[in-house]
Structure 1
Amino acid sequence: MSFTDLMSFVNYAFVLFFGIIVSLYLADFPFEEHKRFYTLTLLGFGIAQIIFYLALGEKALYQCYPLLIHLPLILLIRFVLKQNIYVSMIAVLSAYLLCTPRKWIGTLVSSFFDYSPLVSNIVTSVITLPLLFLVIRYVAPHVIKLKQENKTTLLLFFLLPLIYYILEYAFTVYTDLLHTGGIVVVDFLDSFLVLLYFILSMLMIELSSQRNKAERENLLLTTVSSQAKKEIEQIAEVQKQAAIHRHDLRHHLNFLQTCLAENKPAEALRYIREIDSSLRFTGMKRYCVNDSINLILSSYADKAQDREVTCTFTITATDFSRFQITDLCSLISNGLDNAINACEKINSVEDRYIHLRLYEKNAQLCIKLSNSYSYDHAPVFRNEFPISNETGHGFGVQSMVSVIEKYQGICRFFTKNGEFCFQATL
Structure 2
Amino acid sequence: MTDIVSVLNLINYGFVLIFGIIVSFYFAGIQWEDNKCLFILTTVIFALFQALFYVLLGENVLYKCYPILIHIPLILIIRYICHQNIYISFIAVMSAYLMCTPRKWFGTLAKYIFPEIPVISDVVTIVITIPLLIVVIKYISPYIIKLKEESKNIISMFFLLPLTYYILEYALTVYTNLLYTGKAVIIEFMDSFIVVLYFFLSIVTLSMSNKKNTAERENIILSAAAAQAEKEISQLTDYQKQAAIYRHDLRHHMNFIQSCLAGNNMQQALEYINEINNNLDNTRITRYCSNEAINLILSSYINKAHDADISTQISVTATDFSSYRITDLCSLLANALENAINSCIKQCDNAASKDNKRLITIKLFEKNNKICINIANTYFKEPRFHNQIPVTDEPDHGIGVRSIISVIEKYNGIYAFFTKDGTFYFQACI
User: Equivalent residue for 1:246?
Assistant: 247
C-alpha separation in 1, matches of 2:339 and 2:56 = 76
Query: For residues 261 and 300 of structure 1, do their structure 2 counterparts lie closer, same or farther at Cα, with a shift above 3 Å needed?
Result: same
Query: For residues 42 and 241 of structure 1, do their structure 2 counterparts lie closer, same or farther at Cα, with a shift above 3 Å needed?
Result: farther
Tell me, yes or no, if the aligned pair for 1:227 and 1:326 is still in contact at 8 Å: no
User: Equivalent residue for 1:72?
Assistant: 73
C-alpha separation in 2, matches of 1:220 and 1:130 = 49
User: Equivalent residue for 1:163?
Assistant: 164
C-alpha separation in 2, matches of 1:296 and 1:355 = 15
Alignment counterpart, residue 419 of structure 2, candidates 409, 415, 418: 415
Query: For residues 126 and 408 of structure 1, do their structure 2 counterparts lie closer, same or farther at Cα, with a shift above 3 Å needed?
Result: same
C-alpha separation in 1, matches of 2:239 and 2:118 = 86
Query: Structure 2 unaligned runs (5+)?
Result: none
Q: CA deviation at 1:97?
A: 0.8
C-alpha separation in 2, matches of 1:283 and 1:136 = 67
Is 1:378 the equivalent of 2:383? yes
- Aligned-residue Cα RMSD (Å) equals 2.2
Comparing 37-46 with 397-406, greater Cα deviation is found at 37-46
User: Equivalent residue for 2:375?
Assistant: 369
Query: For residues 34 and 290 of structure 1, do their structure 2 counterparts lie closer, same or farther at Cα, with a shift above 3 Å needed?
Result: farther
Tell me, yes or no, if the aligned pair for 1:237 and 1:283 is still in contact at 8 Å: no
1:315-350 CA-partner distances (Å, limit 9, x unpaired): 222222222221111111221232233334433143
User: Equivalent residue for 1:359?
Assistant: 365
The one-letter code matched in structure 1 to 2:3 is S
User: Equivalent residue for 1:403?
Assistant: 407
C-alpha separation in 1, matches of 2:227 and 2:118 = 68
Tell me, yes or no, if the aligned pair for 1:317 and 1:365 is still in contact at 8 Å: yes
Query: For residues 144 and 276 of structure 1, do their structure 2 counterparts lie closer, same or farther at Cα, with a shift above 3 Å needed?
Result: same
Q: CA deviation at 1:187?
A: 1.9
Tell me, yes or no, if the aligned pair for 2:408 and 2:428 is still in contact at 8 Å: yes
Please give the residue correspondences for 1:45-194 in structure 2 after superposition, counting only pairs within 5 Å: 45-114=46-115, 116=117, 118-194=119-195
Tell me, yes or no, if the aligned pair for 2:97 and 2:166 is still in contact at 8 Å: yes
Query: For residues 351 and 18 of structure 1, do their structure 2 counterparts lie closer, same or farther at Cα, with a shift above 3 Å needed?
Result: farther
Comparing 69-78 with 226-235, greater Cα deviation is found at 69-78
1:338-393 CA-partner distances (Å, limit 9, x unpaired): 2233334433143332211112223221111112233x4233231x3333333333
1:391-414 CA-partner distances (Å, limit 9, x unpaired): 333332222121112112222222
Query: For residues 242 and 98 of structure 1, do their structure 2 counterparts lie closer, same or farther at Cα, with a shift above 3 Å needed?
Result: same
> How many corresponding residue pairs?
424
Query: For residues 117 and 237 of structure 1, do their structure 2 counterparts lie closer, same or farther at Cα, with a shift above 3 Å needed?
Result: farther
1:166-220 CA-partner distances (Å, limit 9, x unpaired): 1111111111111124232212211221222122212222221122112111111
Query: For residues 369 and 165 of structure 1, do their structure 2 counterparts lie closer, same or farther at Cα, with a shift above 3 Å needed?
Result: same
Is 1:391 the equivalent of 2:392? no
User: Equivalent residue for 2:32?
Assistant: 31
Query: For residues 178 and 296 of structure 1, do their structure 2 counterparts lie closer, same or farther at Cα, with a shift above 3 Å needed?
Result: same
Q: CA deviation at 1:88?
A: 2.1
The one-letter code matched in structure 2 to 1:381 is H
Q: CA deviation at 1:115?
A: 6.9
Query: For residues 295 and 191 of structure 1, do their structure 2 counterparts lie closer, same or farther at Cα, with a shift above 3 Å needed?
Result: same
TM-score (norm 1): 0.92
1:243-277 CA-partner distances (Å, limit 9, x unpaired): 22122222212212322333333322221111111
C-alpha separation in 2, matches of 1:95 and 1:308 = 68
Q: CA deviation at 1:154?
A: 1.9
Tell me, yes or no, if the aligned pair for 2:91 and 2:159 is still in contact at 8 Å: yes
Tell me, yes or no, if the aligned pair for 1:241 and 1:283 is still in contact at 8 Å: no
The one-letter code matched in structure 1 to 2:140 is V
Q: CA deviation at 1:306?
A: 4.5
Is 1:318 the equivalent of 2:319? yes
Please give the residue correspondences for 1:211-290 in structure 2 after superposition, counting only pairs within 5 Å: 211-290=212-291
1:111-143 CA-partner distances (Å, limit 9, x unpaired): 233175632222212211211111122212222
TM-score (norm 2): 0.91
C-alpha separation in 2, matches of 1:19 and 1:6 = 20
Query: Structure 1 unaligned runs (5+)?
Result: none
C-alpha separation in 2, matches of 1:378 and 1:208 = 30
1:269-316 CA-partner distances (Å, limit 9, x unpaired): 221111111111125443333332233223322433454433333222
1:81-109 CA-partner distances (Å, limit 9, x unpaired): 33333222222111111111111111112
C-alpha separation in 1, matches of 2:409 and 2:125 = 55
Query: For residues 85 and 273 of structure 1, do their structure 2 counterparts lie closer, same or farther at Cα, with a shift above 3 Å needed?
Result: same
SS, match of residue 30 in structure 2: coil
The one-letter code matched in structure 2 to 1:201 is S
Query: For residues 378 and 9 of structure 1, do their structure 2 counterparts lie closer, same or farther at Cα, with a shift above 3 Å needed?
Result: same
C-alpha separation in 2, matches of 1:40 and 1:293 = 72
